[in-house]
Amino acid sequence: MTVLGAAAWFGLSLRPSNGGAEPVAELARAASELQLAEQHYLNAIASLEQLTVRKDTTLDPAIAADIAQSLSSIDRAIADSRAALKTDPNSFVAQTSLLEALRMKVALLQETVSLMNARS
């Protein structure tokens, strides 16, 4: 999804401009694509979190604690990116950072599910 959002932004930003209104419309389309990517990540996270509810009882306590600490760090990165986007909604760096943090959370939750399945 990060690639999709970044590709949409780059693809739209590299197209030649034919006037003042078109870049505004292109920015709106890019922002819409980024919001869709974010929503897809959030949906995946919600589903994966439901699968990992029992991680504390299924996994070794040290591994569960490491996962919890990593999730906390990722959640801070997500919050920081969202705060940066509130300050500057058009910040490509903040948008990319948010999508990357969401991607990392999905990946960690997927790994957690794999570990839980391996132990059961």
pLDDT in tens, 92-120: 899 999 999 999 999 999 999 999 998 76
Q: Number of helices and strands (H, E) in the chain?
A: 5, 0
* Whole-prediction pTM: 0.76
Contact by Cβ (8 Å): 50, 25? no
Q: Which residues of 44-56 are buried (b: 16+ CB within 10 A; e: fewer)?
A: bbeebeeebeebe
Please state, for a pLDDT cut of 90, what percent of the chain lies above it.
Answer: 57
Higher pLDDT pick, 60 / 21:
60
Can you tell me the mean pLDDT for 64-89? 96
Using the 8-state DSSP alphabet, how is residue 12 labeled? H
Residue 76 phi/psi, 5-degree rounding, is: -65, -40
Half-sphere exposure of 88 (CA within 13 A, CB side): 10
